[in-house]
Structure 1
Amino acid sequence: MGEKPIDHIELKLPAKAEYVGVVRLTVSGIASRAGYSYDDIEDLKIAVAEACTNVVDHAYQDSGLIGIGCSLYTDKMVIVVADNGQSFDLEKLKEGLGPVDGTKPIGELEEGGLGLFLIDSLMDKVEINGKAGVAIVMTKFLQRDEVEQNADGVPAPTNAQKQ
């Protein structure tokens, strides 16, 4: 089948705003342990908070749970944020996805549209499954050290250049 994760962590928390910070801190700790850069960890925290906030705001009439799964692979982390509350029309949602019109004032953006756009822009891959509740599957690839070392665009000197 598919590639097997090195580690898999799961959480189930009440779908309440006060628990979104717990998810952010948990994902931050997992990403730090996996070797993600500060900037990538910040992106992960924002994306997972947006996904959890969507569950808190839209999934349940009364109360319910947010399910979070983090799967670590050698080259990526896959985070699933899921609910089993009210579903929505995926095709209609897909029609609404796309670039945000920069000419419109931010107040004119549709509710919820900016959160999904933000998640999509921060993560490397985003999938939404709405068969039983809603699950947002977010993937962030791990950038290796050689990219970080030359982040300023200046190549490291070779042995010939040092002499």
Structure 2
Amino acid sequence: MTTTATRLEFSLPAVPASVRKARVSVAETVTELGASERVVDDVRLCVSEAVSNVVRHAYGNGWGDVDVVVEREEGALNVVVRDFGQGIGPKSSRRKTNGGYGLKIIEKVAERLHITSARADGTEVRMVFLLAGGTPGGAPPS
């Protein structure tokens, strides 16, 4: 795990126990970066949903990692959850399973959401959360 005054970056195995670890680590860092309790709760929820999606969908029955980056920049928190799994297929080929609300929740809670995905290259979920007085101009980390 790498932490600087304005950035946290870590990788975890894509297993159920990592959802809690990611949620706790991110909440602690976001609090230290000066986020309000509401923003901490929003980031915690969205990271939990994004990491859960990696655990459930990214690697099928195989093994892999989930990378998480949190960065404070220009009145905003930029959060990235990334995997290197099978990517998100077209909606028509997605198998219906229990749940399915994770990305919808993130879309409602985060100020901005951008998802990139490619077969065999994985998925990257980029989220922006405003800090007090921030503007939605912050760009998620690359």
Both structures adopt the same fold (TM-score exceeding 0.5):
yes
- Alpha-carbon distance in structure 2 between the residues aligned to 1:69 and 1:32: 15
Structure 2 residue aligned with 1:53: 52
Does the alignment pair 1:136 with 2:125? yes
Aligned to 2:64: 64
Output aligned runs, 1:141-156, within 5 Å: 141-144=130-133
C-alpha separation between the residues in 1 aligned to 2:99 and 2:76? 27
- Structural mapping, 1:79-98, within 5 Å: 79-89=79-89, 92=91
% identity of equivalent residues: 28
List alignment gaps of at least 5 residues for structure 2: 134-142
Measured after TM superposition, the shift of residue 110 of structure 1 is: 6.5
CA contact (8 A) 1:77 1:140 kept: yes
1:92 Cα deviation after fit: 3.2
Amino acid at match of 1:67: D
Give 1:74 deviation, angstroms. 3.1
The alignment's TM-score, normalised by the length of structure 1, stands at: 0.69
Counterpart Cα distance in 2 of 1:119 and 1:111: 17
Matched, 1:117 2:116: no
The number of residue pairs the alignment matches comes to: 124
Unaligned runs of 5+ in 1: 1-5, 94-108, 145-163
Deviations 1:79-99 (Å, cap 9, x if unpaired)?
A: 11010011123x638xxxxxx
The separation in 2 between residues aligned to 1:38 and 1:21, in whole angstroms, is: 18
Q: Which structure has more strand as a fraction of its residues?
A: 2
Which structure would you say has the larger Rg?
A: 1
Calculate the TM-score normalised by the size of structure 2.
0.79
Q: Post-superposition shift, 1:112?
A: 4.9
Deviations 1:120-162 (A, max 9, x none): 1111000001132000001101024xxxxxxxxxxxxxxxxxx
Contact 1:54 1:112 in 2 (8 A): no
What do you get for the CA RMSD once the two structures are aligned? 2.1
- Paired position in structure 2 for 1:31: 30
Aligned AA (2:112): K
Dislocated runs of 4+, deviation >3 Å? 109-113
